[in-house]
Amino acid sequence: MHALPPDHRPYTDKYFLRSRRILENEGINPSVTIQVFFRDGPGVVAGIDETVALFRAFSPLAGNGGRIMALPEGAAFSPLEPVMHIEGPVLDVIELETLYLGILSARTTLANGLPAPTPDAVAARAAAVRAAMPDKHLMYFGARHWHWTDEEAFCRAAVGAGFDSCATDAGAGAAGLPAGVGTIPHALVLVLAAACGREHATREAARLFDRHIEPECPRIALVDTFNREIDDALDTARGLGGRLAAVRLDTAGELVGQGGKADDGRPYLTGRGVTVAGVLAVRRALDAAGFGQVGIVLSSGFSNPDKLAAFAAAEREHGRLFTALGIGGLFRSWCATADIVRVAGQAMAKTGRGFRDNPRLVRAL
Total number of domains constituting the chain: 2
Tell me: the pLDDT tens digits for 187-245? Answer: 999 999 999 999 999 999 999 999 999 999 999 999 999 999 999 999 999 999 899 99
- Boundary (domain end) residue, out of 279, 300, 321: 300
| 305 found inside a domain | no
Whether residues 216 and 294 share a domain: the answer is yes
| 56 lies in some domain | yes
Question: 296 and 195, same structural domain?
Answer: yes
Any idea what the CATH number is for the domain that residue 346 is in? 3.20.140.10
Answer whether residue 340 is part of any domain: yes
Asked whether residue 127 is domain-assigned, the answer is no
For position 241, what pLDDT does the model report?
Answer: 84
The 3 state secondary structure assigned to the chain is CCCCCCCCHHHCCHHHHHHHHHHHHHCCCCEEEEEEEECCCCEECCCHHHHHHHHHHHCCCHHHCCEEEECCCCCEECCCCCCEEEEEEHHHHHHHHHHHHHHHHHHHHHHCCCCCCCHHHHHHHHHHHHHHCCCCEEEECCHHHCCHHHHHHHHHHHHHCCCCEECCHHHHHHCCCCCCCCCCCHHHHHHHHHHHCHHHHHHHHHHHHHHHCCCCCCEEEECCCCCCHHHHHHHHHHHHHHHEEEEEECCCCCCECCCCCCCCCCECCECCECCHHHHHHHHHHHHHCCCCCCEEEEECCCCCHHHHHHHHHHHHHHCCCCCEEEECCCCCCCCEEEEEEEECCEECCCCCCCCCCCCCCEECC
pLDDT of residue 3: 83
CATH code, 194 = 3.20.20.70
Residue 318 falls inside a structural domain = no
How confident is the model at residue 42, as a pLDDT?
Answer: 98
Question: Low-confidence residues of the chain, pLDDT below 50?
Answer: none
Q: Establish if 150 belongs to a structural domain.
A: no
Q: Do 289 and 350 fall into the same domain?
A: no
339 and 282 part of one domain = no
Q: What range does the domain containing 71 cover?
A: 9-114+335-363
